[in-house]
Structure 1
Amino acid sequence: MSTATPGFRHLIRLSDDTGLFEHARHALVRRQHGYCTDDVARGLVVATREPRPAHRLTRLAESYLAFLTHAQDRSGAFHNRLSFDRRWDDQPGVGDWWGRAMWGLGTAAARSPVPWIRDEALLAFTAGAEQRSPHPRAMAFAGLGAAEVLRADSDSSVAAGLLMDAAEAIGAPSENPSWPWPQPRLTYANAALAEVLIAVGELSDDRLRLATGLRMLTWLWDVQTRHGRLAVVPAAGWRLDAPRPRFDQQPIEVAALADACATAARVSGDQAWQERVRRSVAWFQGANDADALMWDPATGGGYDGLTEHGPNLNQGAESTIALISTMQHARRLP
Structure 2
Amino acid sequence: MSASVEHGPFRAAPFTHLRRLTDAGGLYEHASGTTPRREHGYCVDDVARALVVVCRDDGHAQDDLREHYLSFVLAAQADDGRFRNRRDSDLRWRGAPSVEDCWGRALWGLGAAAHDPRALAAFDRGASWRSPWPRAMAFAALGAADVLRVQPANRGALDLLRAATEVIGRPAPGADWPWPEPRLTYANAVLPEALLAAGAALDAPALVADGLRLLGWLLDAQTRDGHLSVVPVGGRGPLDSRPGFDQQPIEAAALADACARAHTITGQDRWLDGINRAAAWFLGANDVGVSLYDPGSGGGCDGLERDGRNENQGAESTLALVSTLQQVRAHHPASRHGTPESELHGVG
* Equivalent of residue 51 in structure 1, options 46, 58, 61: 58
* Equivalent of residue 88 in structure 1, options 93, 102, 115: 93
1:67 aligns with 2:53: no
Aligned counterparts of 2:147 and 2:54: Cα–Cα separation in 1: 16
Aligned counterparts of 1:265 and 1:138: Cα–Cα separation in 2: 24
Aligned to 1:14: 21
What is the TM-score with the length of structure 1 in the denominator?
A: 0.95
Higher mean Cα deviation, 196-205 or 91-100? 196-205
Contact 2:139-2:190 within 8 A present in 1 as well: yes
SS in 1 for 2:253: helix
Listed one character per residue, the Cα deviations across residues 211-242 of structure 1 (whole Å, up to 9, x for unaligned) are: 11000000000000001100001100011224
**Per-residue deviation, 1:245:** 5.1
1:193 aligns with 2:191: yes
Alignment of structure 1 residues 1-334 onto 2, 5 Å: 2-4=4-6, 5=11, 6-54=13-61, 57-110=62-115, 118-244=116-242, 246-332=244-330, 333-334=332-333
Listed one character per residue, the Cα deviations across residues 256-275 of structure 1 (whole Å, up to 9, x for unaligned) are: 00000000001011121111
SS in 2 for 1:109: coil
* Higher RCO structure (Cα 8 Å, ≥6 apart): 2
| Percent of aligned pairs sharing the same letter | 54
**Per-residue deviation, 1:130:** 1.6
Q: Name the amino acid aligned to 2:211.
A: G
Contact 2:229-2:243 within 8 A present in 1 as well: no
Q: Name the amino acid aligned to 1:3.
A: V
Higher mean Cα deviation, 28-37 or 145-154? 145-154
Q: Name the amino acid aligned to 1:15.
A: T
Q: Name the amino acid aligned to 1:326.
A: T
Higher mean Cα deviation, 312-321 or 284-293? 284-293
Aligned counterparts of 1:312 and 1:193: Cα–Cα separation in 2: 27
Q: Name the amino acid aligned to 1:70.
A: A
Aligned counterparts of 1:45 and 1:37: Cα–Cα separation in 2: 12
**Per-residue deviation, 1:152:** 2.9
Aligned counterparts of 1:267 and 1:256: Cα–Cα separation in 2: 17
Listed one character per residue, the Cα deviations across residues 76-99 of structure 1 (whole Å, up to 9, x for unaligned) are: 101111111111221111100110
Structure 2 unaligned residues grouped into runs of 5+: 334-348
Contact 1:75-1:131 within 8 A present in 2 as well: no
Aligned to 2:343: none
**Per-residue deviation, 1:66:** 0.9
Q: Name the amino acid aligned to 2:139.
A: F
Contact 1:262-1:329 within 8 A present in 2 as well: yes
Aligned counterparts of 2:89 and 2:107: Cα–Cα separation in 1: 24
Listed one character per residue, the Cα deviations across residues 137-168 of structure 1 (whole Å, up to 9, x for unaligned) are: 10010001111111232211111111111111
Aligned counterparts of 2:170 and 2:258: Cα–Cα separation in 1: 18
Aligned counterparts of 2:129 and 2:202: Cα–Cα separation in 1: 22
Output the aligned Cα RMSD.
1.2
SS in 2 for 1:306: strand
Structure 1 unaligned residues grouped into runs of 5+: 111-117
Q: Name the amino acid aligned to 1:49.
A: R
